[in-house]
Amino acid sequence: MIRLNTPLTEEKIAGLKVGDQVLISGTLYSARDAAHKRMVEGLDGEKPLPFDVQGQIVFYMGPCPAAPGEIIGPAGPTTSHRMDAYTPALLHRGLKGMIGKGNRTAPVVDAIVENQAVYFVCAGGTGMLSASCITDAQVIAYDDLGAEAIRRLIVKDFPVIVAIDAKGNNIYENEIKKYRNYLKDKQEEVYESNGN
């Protein structure tokens, strides 16, 4: 298990490889597709971003309402490809990490490699676990978006897995190949054990 504190640097990212289990502590920013669309439209209009993305990690999440006395409600990841049209623009401006679920498109993987960034995943259905690692949550922009507003999150030992590292190694592609090879080997074993 690797412990990682934010903000991220290229040196920290260079030490991460696909499949690594990581516990993140520090600041994350939550933003989903509506917030990403607004940020990139703002950039196109030469407006500043609502927070400095340099070295930061964006968590693709919109929390459920918090129960009385809770800091935040369940905070599981949303499907990352919803942000793919906007992600390269943010990576080119210094964003270094993203947390979501699911694979990314080729332009995002290319931008991860070009900008020496990293894509983390956490499993869907882990909203309560994720929320338990958030010690503070404050809306900092686009409060009209409700659950999709941008939040600054303070986290302690937030569990993630490196899904795409800075070299472009991709857990979705690597693991599928491993599984196919495993099945092929097992089929050959069965074939040989049957005397064929």
Give me the tens of pLDDT residue by residue for the chain, a chain 196 residues long. 899 999 999 999 999 999 999 999 999 999 999 999 999 999 989 999 999 999 999 999 988 888 888 899 889 899 999 999 999 999 999 999 999 999 999 999 999 999 999 999 997 677 888 889 999 999 999 999 999 999 999 999 999 999 999 999 999 987 666 656 555 565 666 556 666 5
Report whether 61 contacts 101 (CB < 8 A).
no
193: in domain: no
Report whether 127 contacts 74 (CB < 8 A).
yes
Fill in the DSSP letter of residue 81. Answer: G
How much is the pLDDT for 62?
87
98: in domain: yes
196: in domain: no
| φ and ψ at residue 98, rounded to 5 degrees | -140, 145
How much is the pLDDT for 175?
67
Q: For residue 193, how many other CB atoms are within 10 A of its CB?
A: 8
78: in domain: yes
For the chain, helix (H) and strand (E) counts, in that order, are: 6, 7
Report whether 113 contacts 102 (CB < 8 A).
no
Domains: count for the chain: 1
86: in domain: yes
Q: Name the β-bridge partners of 119.
A: 98, 164
Q: What is the pTM of this model?
A: 0.88
CATH, residue 84:
3.20.130.10
156: in domain: yes
How much is the pLDDT for 162?
97
14: in domain: yes
31: in domain: yes
Q: From CA 37, how far away is CA 120, in angstroms rounded?
A: 21
Burial of 7 (0-12, 13-18, 19+ CB in 10 A): middle
Domain span including residue 22:
2-171
How much is the pLDDT for 128?
84
How much is the pLDDT for 80?
96
| φ and ψ at residue 116, rounded to 5 degrees | 50, 60
